[in-house]
Amino acid sequence: MNRDLLIEIGTEELPPKALQKLSQAFSDGITTGLDKATLNFETIKSYASPRRLAVLIGNLMEQTPDQEIERRGPALQAAFGEDGCATKAAEGFARSCGVVVEDLEKLETDAGSWLVYRSHQKGQPASVLIPDIVNQALEGLPIPRRMRWGDLDTQFVRPVHWVVLLFGNEVIDAEILGIRTGRATRGHRFHHPAFIEIPAPTEYEVLLESEGKVIADFDRRAETIRARVESAALELNGRAVIDATLLNEVAAMVEWPVAVTGHFEARFLSVPHEALISTMSANQKYFHLVDANNQLLPYFITVSNIESTNPDTVRIGNERVIRPRFSDAEFFWNQDRKQRLDKHLLQLKTVVFQQKLGSLFDKTQRVAKLAASIAELTNTDRLLAVRSAELSKCDLMTDMVGEFPGLQGIMGRYYAEHDGEDTAVCRALDDYYKPRFAGDSLPDDSVSQTVALADRIDTLLGIFAIGQIPTGDKDPYALRRAALGLLRILIERQIDLDLKPLLKQAATNFPDTLHAGKAIDQVLGFVLDRLRAYYLDQGIRPDVIEAVAVQHPTRPVDIDRRIKAVTAFRHLPEAESLAAANKRIGNILKKVEGTLPETVDPSLLQEAAERHLHQALNELSTDTAAMLAAGDYEPALQRLATLRKAVDTFFDDVLVMDNNNELRTNRIALLNQLHGLFLQVADISRLQE
């Protein structure tokens, strides 16, 4: 028979930002444990709220299947001596199986004869195995710092107050995290703090909600919050802006969500809206409202964890909390505008970027020099790029960014606009930070792109030059993100620049004592390594990426063209044959000692197949030369694909490694030309079937 199993760990309030991760890890741990124990089940559903982690397993086996155990021991020749007595090897094997040698059997096969131990192992009850499975799952949770409570030696992310372990309608008696298991859960801390007896696992969710005032299903609770917030916003003739991250965080903070609307003085709307929104969402976990024109409204919606008998008190309390923070933002906004943004430039000398790399002022000067070089290469306004780079860190010295660090760049744009800076400069001060995170938009303006590239290249080369290379999960300067952002800007905005010369230029901006030039190849490799993940996320096959990467191109736009061309090529009917031929050619060329011959002597072409291949190569070399020079790799590969028949015939009819040295050398030169033609795009021999 099968039964349902309910596991619930009742705790003090769990960390909101970690709740979903803990829930998923707990569910995965239970699944792994059951699979390892060969306890089959049909379904598994996880629950998570501020005060509980739970898992409901449907139709779990009551015991593991019986097993026939067979362990092979030493060969008979090694198991018994010439006198027929058991050797130490046989006796040791028997002891490891818990029997004597006489209890072992013999296994005869065509490959030989061995001692073998066979036994029948009856299945174990699930109720015996489950407590250990739960303990192991809890031990494996991603908890950076565990805590103790009371006089217990037990450690967990938060103190544990109850544990439910219900198998069908029976409690599995055990001790989990220092607590005896039972069938009693607890409801909402305020609405129903008393215990609730769970008759059967499948009644858990319904009973918690109907009696305990707890919506245990995380996703359903989040959608309930979304619906109630949107409904409250409509009553105010607005639209709630619901960020997924904030929604999940709020869902991790409440068990019985109640939407409460609040209001703030319209005068605060004169403050940059990003500052107000940052305060509402990041600090207070409020949802902000906008009108039909996407303009901020003087309202907010918070989600309470209790149905108050006096909701006005809750509303007034939240309004009272937010008002001082808005007043601070208003004060900072007014104060910061009393002096120009560029007045902060010299103050950057007092802020260390990195001890060995100097101050933020030093960094902006390096970025400005590199931005000037990039501007000349991309026909971007050089003066605007330099001005943007010089002002790029100035807003870090303002009171507003000091109080709200997340507004860096955004406030730079506002203050530059107030000072009357060029529109492109204002935009660049904000946009050069893009992409700020995975999937973020990219800077559209050429000035913004120039500063974004210069800033990332300077950071990458500087940090590598001082030996602070990312290892494992440690990447304190977010160099992986910087490298990927650099590549995305170049590729997706089609800025065809060669990374190696840019890195060489950047190296000249550092002090000679730093020897930044020595880190160029290392940085280049690090940046280009990010392309693998970038293209895998787009569904590009690993063999396509490898075929291009082995050619070591250093222009990301050029790499992108090659990747797309090889992806299209591998779908052609000729691709498999030509890939195999190139692999064969590569193996032949590797065996050649000394310099590979490059010149083909037509007078030495004796076979019709080699003459035909030579003619086809000459024609295609001429046809594709302009395509390859222009980076039009896809049509070039399509033309080269027409070589398939000539190549196949060549290998069918011609002996490359002829005994005649002149013929052999000439044929190797022909294959070298063929191989080199494809290598101008990629090493297609790397393509897999």
CB neighbourhood size of 426 (10 A): 23
Per the CB < 8 A criterion, the answer to whether 420 and 341 are in contact is: no
Q: With H, G, I as helix, E, B as strand and everything else as coil, classify residue 104.
A: coil
CA 44/CA 125 separation, integer angstroms: 20
Q: With H, G, I as helix, E, B as strand and everything else as coil, classify residue 103.
A: helix
List C-alpha distances in Å: 9 to 151, 175, 190, 208, 565: 19, 12, 19, 14, 54
Hey, what amino acid is at 291?
D
Hey, what amino acid is at 79?
A
Rounded to 10 degrees, what is the CA torsion of 485, 487, 490, 496?
160
Per the CB < 8 A criterion, the answer to whether 634 and 568 are in contact is: yes
Hey, what amino acid is at 125?
P
Per the CB < 8 A criterion, the answer to whether 589 and 672 are in contact is: yes
Q: What is the pLDDT of residue 104?
A: 83
Q: Which residues of 318-348 are buried (b: 16+ CB within 10 A; e: fewer)?
A: bbeebeebbebbbebbeebeeebbeebbebb
> What tokens appear for 129 in the block?
């195995």
Radius of gyration of the chain (CA): 35
Per the CB < 8 A criterion, the answer to whether 479 and 359 are in contact is: no
Residues 6+ apart with CB under 8 A from 327: none
Hey, what amino acid is at 456?
R
CA 182/CA 86 separation, integer angstroms: 53
Q: How many CA atoms are closer than 13 Å to the CA of 346, on its beta-carbon side?
A: 2
Per the CB < 8 A criterion, the answer to whether 29 and 138 are in contact is: yes
CA 584/CA 46 separation, integer angstroms: 54
Per the CB < 8 A criterion, the answer to whether 672 and 598 are in contact is: yes
Chain centroid to CA 424: 32
CA 192/CA 305 separation, integer angstroms: 13
Whether the CA torsion 541, 547, 551, 557 is positive or negative: it is negative
The helix, strand and coil proportions of the chain, stated in percent and rounded to the nearest 5, come to 55, 15, 30
Q: What is the pLDDT of residue 55?
A: 98
CA-nearest of 384, 365, 391 to 446 is 384
List C-alpha distances in Å: 300 to 241, 311, 358, 446, 601: 10, 15, 43, 37, 82
> What tokens appear for 266 in the block?
């319209």
Domains of the chain: 2-64+125-210 (3.30.70), 67-121 (no CATH), 218-336 (no CATH), 356-389+429-539 (no CATH), 561-686 (1.10.730.10)
| Average pLDDT per consecutive 10 residues, the chain (689 residues; last block may be shorter) | 94 95 97 93 97 97 81 82 82 85 81 80 87 95 89 89 96 95 96 95 97 97 97 96 96 97 96 95 95 96 93 93 95 96 96 94 97 97 97 97 94 97 97 92 96 98 94 88 96 97 97 94 96 94 95 96 94 90 89 86 90 92 91 93 91 89 90 91 90
Whether the CA torsion 468, 469, 473, 475 is positive or negative: it is positive
Give the DSSP letter of residue 125: B
Question: Long-range contacts of range 445-449, CB-CB < 8 Å, 24 or more positions apart?
Answer: 446/378, 446/379, 446/380, 446/381, 447/375, 447/380, 447/381, 447/384, 447/385, 447/388, 448/388, 448/424, 449/378, 449/380, 449/489, 449/493, 449/495
User: Per the omega criterion (within 30 degrees of 0), is the bond before 272 cis?
Assistant: no
Q: What is the pLDDT of residues 82-140, one digit of tens each?
A: 777 888 888 888 888 888 888 888 888 877 888 888 877 777 898 999 999 999 999 99
Q: In what order do the strands lie in the sheet with 112-121?
A: 67-75, 112-121, 105-109
Chain centroid to CA 375: 32
Q: What is the pLDDT of residue 86?
A: 83
Q: Mean pLDDT of all residues in the chain?
A: 93
Q: What is the pLDDT of residue 96?
A: 86
The answer to pTM > 0.95 is no
- Give me the percent of the chain exceeding a pLDDT of 70: 100
Per the CB < 8 A criterion, the answer to whether 61 and 41 are in contact is: yes
